[in-house]
Amino acid sequence: MKLSYVYILNCADDSYYTGVTTNLQKRMFEHATAKHPRSFTAKRLPVELVFYTEFTDIFIAIGKEKQIKNWSRVKKGALIAGKFEDLPNLSKKDFKKFPSLDQQNPRQFE
């Protein structure tokens, strides 16, 4: 069974990089040595591995990587800190603005 990894790096400019690989040690070496000089992390060295998780299915790992890439910085920080119970509350939501109570009929809230 070949493992896949989703990982998060903290870059020198304090940004996060999320990636997926089947060889975490090799991929970390590539990031650290800027093997791909035009990559996101090559311009933000040094990088530090702050989170990783294993998957037995590469397609699930790729899906999780894409999901995490869309998360806010705060939500990624909660994941890194292991605050899994906070993750649902940190989802991006499009809240509609509610008019203030003084502009509404207070009876509709009874």
99 within a domain of the structure (yes/no): no
Q: How many domains does the chain have?
A: 1
Structural domain including 43 reads 4-86
Question: Cα separation of 50 and 84, whole Å?
Answer: 15
Q: For position 21, which CATH number holds? A: 3.40.1440.10
Distances (CA, A) of 47 to 30, 94, 106: 11, 33, 54
Closest CA to 45 of 65, 20, 15: 15
**Are the CB atoms for 49 and 28 separated by under 8 Å?**
yes
106 within a domain of the structure (yes/no): no
pLDDT digits (tens, 9 = 90+) for 15-46: 999 999 999 999 999 999 999 999 999 999 99
Question: Cα separation of 56 and 75, whole Å?
Answer: 24
pTM of the model: 0.80
Question: Cα separation of 67 and 50, whole Å?
Answer: 17
104 within a domain of the structure (yes/no): no
18 within a domain of the structure (yes/no): yes
